Structure 1
Amino acid sequence: MFSHSYFQRALAKREDNGSLRVLKSKQQGTDFYSNDYLGLSGNKDFQKLLLKSITENPELLTGSTGSRLISGNSNTVTEAEEFIAKEHGYESALLFPSGYNANLALFSALPTRHDTIIVDEQIHRSVHDGCKMSNAKKLKFRHNDYDNLEEILRRQTGTCYIAIESLYSMDGDIAPIKEITEIAEKYNAGLIVDEAHAFGVFGYGLVNQFQIQDRVLATVVTYGKALGTQGAAVLTDNLIKSYLVNFASPFIYTTSAHDFLWMSISKGYHFLKSNKELSDILQYNIQIFRDEQLQSPSAKNSPIQAIVIPDNKRLKALHDILSSNGFLTYAVFSPTVKEHTERLRICLHSFNTEEEIKMLAGIIKEFM
């Protein structure tokens, strides 16, 4: 009989150190933990816009019936990609059902076993998983340390790729994108930037803000956060898009999402352009939190504000106190982050009130 003992021991170890993950029903309370930075997932006007599109085109809700290379490539997804590419100032866009799939496709398909991928040590897990599939050599550079990145690049031969996020999800800090872009060009390395948490918060992201599209091999933007929907796009040139369509297994061997998803993404762009005040309100709320003078490694304009509490049990105690007061936050235990860097991850939104933000900060201050 097959033995489950290894799985039991692994789960028991996590339970003992307070890091066991369990699925919970969606909780009621004041939201300081979701990635819905601009509140679009619950925005009534946005919902009405999507409902109108469905009412006029009910076929949007039907399944795609196959992969995009067989029967799943509709006019809706093709037009959405053309629109997104133009909006971001790229030649091409390729849509995926999630940011995880987009990164898996990029990093499994582009590098070969003879290449080197140099990743920021805090890059998202999806990039690490994609690197495994590529069989390329993977190296890490110290977080946001472009001097360390150049040191590593200087010692490499052959084709190199660099993987960074523009806004990091654990520390809530911003990458030195301009400096890293210059280093990538100096060593002829392909730079890939994940903008999952920056898109919508900082316009169309920092690559767009700095107008360096022609200096970045590929940018990933995701729509499950500030846009309040789901999916992701790889922004790149026509050649790389064609290569991904031909060689990226996560794209080739999966059924396409239904057209409702692609439509909701396109509508989301239009809604963002018509409601630019949402990002201004978000920044105002971030400043209210920053004015409380809580120590944090996060950028002053980031919707992600991390409070480091380097002990799983102490972190759990604070998390429980906040929960009992109706505040929903996310405690990040080791080993998700390095031991002694455990943190409370606070996400601020355009819909949070000044009173809620100050009450949250007050409880944390009292605990600290």
Structure 2
Amino acid sequence: MTAAEIYLKTRLNERQSSGTYRRLKPENDLIDFCSNDYLGFARSATLKSNIEQEVQNHPHSFNGSTGSRLLSGNLQYAEDLEKTIAVYHQYQAGLLFNSGYDANLGLLSSLAQRGDTIILDELIHASAIDGARLSYANRYSFKHNDTESLEAKLKLAKGNCYVVIESVYSMDGDTPPLLDILHITEKYGANLIVDEAHAVGLYPAGLVAGLGLQKRIFASIVTFGKALGGHGAIVLGSEILRQYLINFARPFIYTTAASFHQLASVKMAYQLLNSAEQEVIDLKNNIKLFKEQITSKGTYPLLNSDSPIQCIVLGSNDKARGMANTLQNRGLDVRAILSPTVAAGTERIRICLHSFNTSDDIIKLTDTINQFINAR
């Protein structure tokens, strides 16, 4: 082996020894309590049929996009879709990206300049952290959902300041005190950016829209790979922001555009979302049922969350894997979230509830969890 391969092998061995080695797993036939398909759109026969019909309605569309949007890959269909999505979420404009990761990377790496400041919630998604790292700005993190900690960091800010939070956190499932955070950022003249990836669905147009705060938010990021059942993302904000990102966001400039099929899938998902009232009701009822049936507390707490993401902290990789294995052996697809994905000591199982989960499935899930915990 070369010196480089020896280094790679050593790092992999370290991961295996510490119990943090990651492996890919193929699909399975277990009951889904794992995916981000909150409203069942990814498996929707109706959505699939609507997408096929939309593609058929555009017989001259290409299989691929042929290039970046600044070269040969731009479509009027894409620009019209951006306008439609912006109107749906009640923003002035939007720009499509190929993934939520690309959206956060492009937005944050291009916005803040040397002498500016980015302040991140300590539990913000890795894509926002990476975007901030790629900027030349001063970077701070504040304690999760802690307005006093945020204000302390805002007092240190220089230049243009951007505060970045999620409206539903992907690993805890909780929601920040959005209004309080907004008041503090406005007090210090900072710009608030809200990642809505896991909020759309439970809140059809997102939490920001649910509270009517779009005009006070600098930018929102909406991804299509969760409740919308597709792929890609959009950054929503002002028309000036859209034009700036077209000119300066490297993950937009230097990547091949989304295919027509991907764009059609997003358009049809938004149309379906307009008639998904029952799915949203079913999702909320399932969240309520789960929380009523679970008895986890004390040593292994259920984190406070009203979202589809429900987490029980086990405190070690071995315990988290043990509970996940027990659930999977009962036919329930629940995954362990291990360090370093989450901080050491906060290892957990992450349960994702959906509109399509049955009451019997949820009771089977909670009974198995309760038995596991009570046996400890």
Match for 1:262: what amino acid? L
Cα distance in structure 1, aligned partners of 2:247 and 2:357:
45
How many angstroms apart in 2 are the aligned matches of 1:206 and 1:304? 15
Q: Is the Cα–Cα contact under 8 Å of residues 32 and 346 in structure 1 kept in the other structure?
A: yes
Query: Counterparts of 2:335 and 2:360 in 1: how far apart (Å)?
Result: 20
Count how many residue pairs are aligned between Structure 1 and Structure 2. 367
Which stretch of the first structure deviates more once superposed, 255-264 or 338-347?
255-264
Question: Identity over aligned residues, as a percent?
Answer: 43
Which residue does 1:348 correspond to in 2? Answer: 353
Contact 2:116 2:157 in 1 (8 A): no
Deviations 1:144-202 (A, max 9, x none): 00111011111323221100000001111001111111111111111110000001221
1:361 corresponding residue in structure 2: 366
**Greater displacement, 83-92 / 33-42:** 83-92
Change (3 A) 1:59 1:342: farther
In the aligned structure 1, how far is the partner of 2:224 from the partner of 2:158? 36
- In structure 2, the residue matched to 1:325 is 330
Q: Distance in 1 between matches of 2:4 and 2:199?
A: 45
Q: CA RMSD in A?
A: 1.1
The answer for the alignment partner of 1:231 in structure 2 is 232
The separation in 1 between residues aligned to 2:38 and 2:335, in whole angstroms, is 15
Please state if 1:307 is matched with 2:312.
Answer: yes
Say whether 1:296 aligns with 2:302.
Answer: yes
CA contact (8 A) 1:195 1:205 kept: yes
Residue-by-residue CA offset, 1:230-262 (whole Å, 9 max, x unaligned): 111100101111111001111001110111111
Report what 2:73 is aligned to. 72
CA shift for structure 1 position 275: 2.2
1:155 corresponding residue in structure 2: 156
Cα distance in 2 for residues equivalent to 1:130 and 1:316: 31
Q: Counterpart in 2 of 1:211?
A: 212
In 1, Cα distance between the equivalents of 2:4 and 2:215?
A: 54
Q: Compute the TM-score of the two structures, normalised by the length of structure 2.
A: 0.95
1:247 partnered with 2:248? yes
Residue 123 in 1 paired to residue 124 in 2?
Answer: yes
Which deviates further from its counterpart, 4-13 or 173-182? 4-13
Measure, in 2, the Cα distance between the counterparts of 1:330 and 1:227: 22
* Runs (4+) off by over 4 Å: none
Q: Distance in 1 between matches of 2:368 and 2:152?
A: 43
Cα offset, 1:61, TM superposition: 5.0
Task: String of CA shifts for 1:178-228, please: whole Å, max 9, x gaps.
Answer: 111111111111111000000122111011011111111100001100000
Matched residues in 2 for 1:59 and 1:142: separation? Answer: 52
Q: Which amino acid in structure 1 is aligned with residue 237 of structure 2?
A: T
Return 5+ residue gaps in structure 2 as ranges: none
Matched, 1:176 2:177: yes
Whether contact under 8 Å (1:17, 1:312) holds in the other structure is: no
